[in-house]
Structure 1
Amino acid sequence: MLISIIIPSYNVEDYIEACVHSAFAQTWPEKEVICIDNNSSDGTWQKLQQLKQQYPNLIIDKELKPGAPAARNKGLSHSRGQWVQFLDADDLLLPTKIEHQVQLAGLNPESSFIAGACIKRDLKGKETNHLPRHDNPLKSLFITQLGNTCSNLWNRTFLEQINGWNESLKSSQEADLMFRLLQVNDRVIFDDEPLTIIRERPSGQISQTNPKEKWKRYYNKRLEMIRWIEQHRPELYAREKDFFMDNLFGILKIIGDEDISAATHLYRQHLKGRYTPSPSQTHSTRPYLLLYKMLGFRGAEICRRWQNRLLGR
């Protein structure tokens, strides 16, 4: 079974060589590696040309439309594999990653994707394992515990069915892709073997740019999920409504740290009168819930912000 490894590349001249080496070092023999340069202004394209001399089977091309989703879709158009490995150029695959997941895929070939574990390596070299949450996939996705772009392995049949990545999104692309896949096929394989290394970079990551807007998009995507689940999976919604709403409320508190006015607006628009925080939440202490009961969302958030400032947080 052929596996396509697709690597979008933007200003990664210091990372791309190790990434491509890790792709070709895979023990699974039936693979193709495709690198798409996405308007790099450094020496990334020259590195790719050098790597093609080392690996003649390496496929390289350029995508002018900015954004990793467009580069991934371009790579997908070049690919022939039945299953697809998307690999960010600053990340690495351990040698048995694909072979291990191909074996899992063979046990359930009609799954839309494999939700894989990963190793996150920070700038100091500290490594932490992150495992997918074995639960209803929609619940796991809602709290960002359904693997990630690089740790997962994707069934081409269903990627084509949803027309690949949404190129218009500035963030939450990964969640959007998985959500659309789950809408057409919610069969997912959970894989707890961490064989992907996600390397932190000092710059160039979306999480480090405009966090306020990122969290708003994150919130809106979860709100979209809730509305779809309520309509199309009513039994799940009725059983897990508190889970979804509690976590949505937690996202609003994160937005409130950056922009109290925006968080208050979203709260009034979607939650006021429809939701009361439960004592079982991990992100709301009993004193906070008391303040919420007395002062409402905005008042409780203002008190929490002042408390954090006094404590130097």
Structure 2
Amino acid sequence: MEAIINNIPQPLVSICIPAFNASEYIAGTLDALLAQTHQHLQIIIVNDHSTDHTMEVINSYLQREPRIKCYQNNGHGAAAARNMAFTKSKGSYIKFFDADDLLNPEAIEQQVALLKKHPECIISGRWGRFIKDLSTFKMADEPVWQDMNGVDWIVRSWEKAQNMTQPGIFMLPRNLVLRSGLWNESLSLNDDLEFYTRLILNAEKVIFCQHAMLYYRSGIRESLSGHKSEAAYLSALQAIELSCAHLLHKDNSQLARKSAAALFQSLLFSIYPQYPHLCKKAKMSVTELGGSDLSFPAGGYTRKLIKLLGWKAAATLKYAFKKQQQQRAKTT
């Protein structure tokens, strides 16, 4: 579906946004999307049973902006909300987007231009983090910021377990989503890893757009990535298992297995010693894949502790100290 705007044909881009308790941020997100130089947009919000003023903010936009539509998901989770938004979409190009992130004004226009030239590809872009406002923004730097085939992109992205598949980075051809399948609704934490691994491996290539910038908001207590429950980490483990299976089905080389092992090792670093059975599964996967030389992320005193005691003892001490702080906070 195309529109002629300023004598230029513009394809319809559908932006699919799950929203849960996003009242503080969603206005900024919608303003950034409405300010895009590519104007032929369909913005689909699925409210996932928010208990704050998210719907009041959304309603204020619905009253004046016909390109925005909103539906209710009744608390079935972000993956289900994204899937609902996709089923309501009509665009030939799709961008999944979070309700608290921002884009530079030219991002969609620039990604659309590349997708027109490469209709069987995924278009990626640059990204960086900010906390409260853009004065805190720090741009990331990734080795996959170049045109690459899918297997090479995944292997290189995973090799140090610092991979980023935040939805707003990518522009997708609708047919690729239909061919690869929608979001896995059994997953919560790391569901984007599994989804984009599938799509990237099914795409002809990943084309890098240097003029598209995602401003990724960090430090939100209510965000899913901030949840550290056992259920969340179980989802993370399952997402890694599925993602690695997708990769190794395409490429079972030693390099691919090493990158896959790095994801399990990184998860092990995150959950040790809190969830022993999950630690055991992650460790077993690392061993089955041939091992990992990934280092425990540490600085300052923790690095010194690791040299003296090893990473497991250092992680155990850090966990005990954190629990002690939490107990003190409860009693004050």
TM bin (shorter chain): 0.7 to 0.9
2:181 is aligned to 163
Q: Amino acid of the residue matched to residue 120 of structure 1?
A: R
1:119 aligns with 2:128: yes
Asked if the contact 2:131–2:217 (Cα under 8 Å) also holds between the matched residues in 1, the reply is yes
User: In structure 2, how many angstroms separate the alpha carbons of the residues matched to 1:98 and 1:106?
Assistant: 12
User: How many angstroms does 1:267 deviate by?
Assistant: 5.3
2:208 is aligned to 190
Task: Label 1:20 to 1:229 Cα distance change in 2 as closer, same or farther (>3 A).
Answer: closer
User: In structure 1, how many angstroms separate the alpha carbons of the residues matched to 2:219 and 2:291?
Assistant: 39
User: In structure 1, how many angstroms separate the alpha carbons of the residues matched to 2:243 and 2:95?
Assistant: 25
User: In structure 2, how many angstroms separate the alpha carbons of the residues matched to 1:222 and 1:274?
Assistant: 13
**TM-score, normalization by structure 1:** 0.81
User: In structure 1, how many angstroms separate the alpha carbons of the residues matched to 2:124 and 2:95?
Assistant: 12
2:196 is aligned to 178
User: How many angstroms does 1:211 deviate by?
Assistant: 4.8
Task: Label 1:144 to 1:84 Cα distance change in 2 as closer, same or farther (>3 A).
Answer: farther
2:25 is aligned to 15
Matches within 5 A, 1:1-313: 1-111=11-121, 113-123=122-132, 125-134=135-144, 136-142=152-158, 143-185=161-203, 187-193=205-211, 195-234=213-252, 237-259=253-275, 261-262=276-277, 264-266=279-281, 269-272=284-287, 275-278=290-293, 281-283=294-296, 300-305=310-315
Q: Give the gaps of 5 or more residues in structure 2.
A: 1-10, 298-302, 326-332
User: How many angstroms does 1:20 deviate by?
Assistant: 1.4
1:294 is aligned to none
**TM-score, normalization by structure 2:** 0.77
User: In structure 2, how many angstroms separate the alpha carbons of the residues matched to 1:273 and 1:290?
Assistant: 28
User: In structure 2, how many angstroms separate the alpha carbons of the residues matched to 1:216 and 1:155?
Assistant: 31
The Cα offsets for residues 17-66 of structure 1, whole Å up to 9 and x where unpaired, read as 22212111110132222222221222222222221222133222222252
User: In structure 2, how many angstroms separate the alpha carbons of the residues matched to 1:309 and 1:75?
Assistant: 39
RMSD: 3.2
Asked if the contact 1:133–1:146 (Cα under 8 Å) also holds between the matched residues in 2, the reply is no
User: In structure 1, how many angstroms separate the alpha carbons of the residues matched to 2:69 and 2:283?
Assistant: 51
User: How many angstroms does 1:271 deviate by?
Assistant: 4.2
User: In structure 1, how many angstroms separate the alpha carbons of the residues matched to 2:295 and 2:278?
Assistant: 19
Name the SS for the 1:195 alignment partner: strand
User: How many angstroms does 1:305 deviate by?
Assistant: 3.2
Q: Amino acid of the residue matched to residue 195 of structure 2?
A: L
User: How many angstroms does 1:101 deviate by?
Assistant: 0.9
Name the SS for the 2:63 alignment partner: helix
User: How many angstroms does 1:83 deviate by?
Assistant: 0.9
Name the SS for the 2:167 alignment partner: coil
User: How many angstroms does 1:96 deviate by?
Assistant: 0.8
Asked if the contact 1:131–1:192 (Cα under 8 Å) also holds between the matched residues in 2, the reply is no
User: In structure 2, how many angstroms separate the alpha carbons of the residues matched to 1:274 and 1:199?
Assistant: 34
Asked if the contact 1:137–1:146 (Cα under 8 Å) also holds between the matched residues in 2, the reply is no
Q: Amino acid of the residue matched to residue 242 of structure 1?
A: K
Name the SS for the 2:192 alignment partner: helix
User: In structure 2, how many angstroms separate the alpha carbons of the residues matched to 1:67 and 1:49?
Assistant: 21
Name the SS for the 2:168 alignment partner: coil
User: In structure 2, how many angstroms separate the alpha carbons of the residues matched to 1:277 and 1:287?
Assistant: 21
Q: Amino acid of the residue matched to residue 185 of structure 1?
A: A
User: In structure 1, how many angstroms separate the alpha carbons of the residues matched to 2:206 and 2:192?
Assistant: 15
Larger deviation, residues 115-124 vs 73-82: 115-124
What is the percentage of aligned positions where both structures have the same residue? 20
User: In structure 2, how many angstroms separate the alpha carbons of the residues matched to 1:77 and 1:196?
Assistant: 24
Count of aligned pairs: 299
Q: Give the gaps of 5 or more residues in structure 1.
A: 292-299
Q: Amino acid of the residue matched to residue 126 of structure 1?
A: T
Task: Label 1:147 to 1:116 Cα distance change in 2 as closer, same or farther (>3 A).
Answer: farther
Task: Label 1:118 to 1:302 Cα distance change in 2 as closer, same or farther (>3 A).
Answer: closer
